[in-house]
A and B are shown apart, each in its own frame.
Chain A
């Protein structure tokens, strides 16, 4: 009976951390397009997604550990996060803006609209947004490549609040 009691949290843990598994099909199809354009020469270092309950648990941890209201507010508004980190296997190459131009039709076809694309200081970055069926902006996709590591992040949730919170706290600074 005692053994069964100890095993209970093991069975309950996946329920509490629901969504804290692999990336979804949509994310992986964008990943494939991006990786192909970036040279198709990468090894996956981490790939994971965190769902609403996982984010809630994370926000409790942030609340307790850091006393950082900003991070906590951001996590409150986000419903899911998917992250992929990929290491370039051979011949680390300088970022080339053309890659972002090459993937643009695929991103557009998948409903993503670029708001920032940049190739500066040996780093390539792009930020895309997407609206849901109710025309509300609820998804953000970020691509970052520094010549050795490719990072893809998709955030879903009330981005209006997330953007507001970040800018209210950190200040708006759109460099032109």
Chain B
């Protein structure tokens, strides 16, 4: 009887522990911690979007009629976050420093940079994270535009690179729309 009780308690503990782990999105391999972005939250020109699994599944249902592929993509996602800040002379260098520090952090955590753009007008990076099965389980976009906006985007969940452009179109992230093409180029080099 004591053995049954102990086994039951261990099982209960494991179930609770596993549930707690699966609920914690920050433990997902595709989750990227951008650190403290609150210092960029000035009075105006700030947008924050957080769509969790429940909301994404609602959006997936909506997409059924228009494009079944989009429904499939959205159903594989667990979280979409976006922090967008207006760029001005005061915060531009700090935002660029943030993009660079995130770059170092992601590269050292086995994220793969698939797009890197450096021009007079814009700095933009796109990263992906693979799991053990070579599936893409996370995506990050960081960008700072001159006199425009800086964006920090993290998409957590199973992502197919072939359909990543559709995700860009769906969430209006132009940097993603040409990713597959550019990834092909970087693989050739």
Contacts and interface: CB of A to CB of B under 8 A. Distances in A.
B50 interface: yes
Contacts, number: 82
Interface in A39-57: none
A141 to B, nearest CB: 15
Nearest to A174: B171
Nearest to B65: A168
Contact of B45 (A114, A120, A174): A120
A176 B153 contact: yes
The main secondary structure of chain A at its interface with chain B is mixed
Interface residues of B, number: 29
A29 interface: no
Interface in B117-136: none
Given A172-B63, A176-B173, A137 B58 contact: yes
Contacts of B59: 163, 167, 172
A118 to B, nearest CB: 4
Nearest to B82: A176
Interface residues of A, number: 29
B151 interface: yes
B51 interface: yes
Contact of A164 (B46, B48, B62): B62
B47 interface: yes
Interface of A: 94-98, 101, 113-122, 129, 131, 137, 160, 163-164, 167-168, 172-176
Given A94-B44, A116-B48, A122-B44, 8 more contacts: A94-B43, A96-B43, A115-B50, A137-B55, A160-B61, A172-B62, A173-B172, A176-B84
